[in-house]
């Protein structure tokens, strides 16, 4: 896999620093060790960078699967033959499916839903 331009630039900079370190005998041991550690970190970074497309693909696939399931359950709720209400912690109706509107014994629920909708508009 091709390296990102940023990673290529860091590798080039590390090589330049390594060449300069060879010319400085007094600090050569410390610089050499630091550059070896930098090289190891760069290799780890490159490995991580190479795995990003796979991880992104898996994430996109999972998101699509979750969205498909969410849509499926939303449709099951909306078109269920029985009336369902979704309420919040204060027992206020947040959602009602279509079957609620068809059940005359649940007129109160329709009125409550309409009141919620009115409040949402204000």
Q: Is the dihedral of CA 44, 50, 54, 59 positive or negative?
A: positive
pLDDT band of residue 19 (cuts 50, 70, 90) is confident
Q: Looking at the predicted structure, is the pLDDT value of residue 69 above 80?
A: yes
Which residue bears the tokens 């947040």? 94
Which residues are paired to 61 by β-bridges?
A: none
Model pLDDT for residues 70-97, shown as the tens digit of each residue: 999 999 999 999 888 899 999 888 888 8
Give the CA distances from residue 81 to residues 74, 89, 101, 114, in Å, rounded to whole numbers and listed in that order. Answer: 14, 25, 11, 21
More confident residue, 102 or 87: 87
């Amino acid at each position: 896999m091709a390296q990102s331009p940023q990673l290529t630039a860091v590798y080039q900079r590390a090589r330049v620093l390594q060449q300069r370190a060879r010319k400085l005998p007094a600090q050569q041991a410390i610089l050499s060790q630091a550059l070896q550690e930098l090289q190891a970190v760069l290799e780890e970074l490159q490995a991580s960078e190479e795995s990003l497309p796979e991880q992104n693909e898996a994430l996109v696939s999972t998101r699509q699967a979750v969205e498909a399931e969410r849509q499926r359950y939303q449709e099951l709720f909306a078109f269920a033959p029985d009336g369902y209400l979704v309420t919040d912690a204060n027992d206020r109706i947040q959602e009602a499916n279509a079957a609620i509107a068809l059940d005359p014994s649940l007129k109160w629920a329709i009125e409550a839903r309409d009141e919620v909708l009115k409040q949402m508009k204000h």
